[in-house]
Amino acid sequence: MALEKGMIVETALRLLDEVGLDGLTLRRLAAELGVQAPALYWHYKNKQQLLDAMAAAMASEHEGRPVLTEPALWREWVADNARRDRAMLNSRRDGARLAAGTRPSPEMFALVERAVEALELAGFTAVDAARGLFAVSGYVAGFVLEEQADRTRRGVDESMPDMAEFQARYPRLMAALTEAGDPQGEESFEAGLALLLDGMRLRLSNERAAN
């Protein structure tokens, strides 16, 4: 069977789920496809091109973002997109690392262009819209990176610190963690996202007041 780009990317994503980003090599991928590694270079000049294609494919599996039809609901729209991005990155093992190490596709630039335009309709300047979107995107990527790294850490070392000693050394941190819960949990994600959205709302209010 002749190799096709779609087949290569699909197999690479399956291997990513099985062995992780560090275990995904072109030699291993070629063996999985039943070919020699040089055969892959007919389709991808190097591993970076393959990773770029994998990241684009991962994103395409989660297309269908809603359009902002009511500018007043911009906050809910940005939050919904952030949750969708988190789900997308978590749909694959090491998904956050894969996305962070690849170059944006033309489709991604087009997506950001439309998002900036939508936020302009809500009253943001193009600069504030872009900065807000980048800040939220960076937050989501970092949060998922920690989520996925935490799963790996738990698998390596299940030992827990002495909680009485931890309480004595870090009373404020312990109090905060007790109330906030798991730093990689849903509540923590939503709280951090709300802080960013509050900042965007304040920026929008200041812009409106200035005009």
Stretch 73-94: mean pLDDT: 96
Stretch 96-109: mean pLDDT: 88
What is the C-alpha separation between 65 and 84, in angstroms, rounded? Answer: 8
Given a cut of 80, is residue 28 above it in pLDDT?
A: yes
Cα 200 to chain center, whole Å? 20
Whole-model pTM: value is 0.87
Tell me the domains of the chain and their CATH numbers.
5-60 (1.10.10.60), 71-159+185-210 (1.10.357.10)
Among 17-26, 146-155, 162-171, name the one with the lowest average pLDDT: 146-155
Given a cut of 60, is residue 89 above it in pLDDT?
A: yes
Mean residue pLDDT of the chain comes to: 90
Q: What is the pLDDT of residues 176-208, one digit of tens each?
A: 888 888 888 899 999 999 999 999 999 999 888
Stretch 16-41: mean pLDDT: 93
- DSSP string of 129-191, one letter each residue: HHHHHHHHHHHHHHHHHHHHHHHHHHHH------HHHHHHH-HHHHHHHHHH--TTSHHHHHH
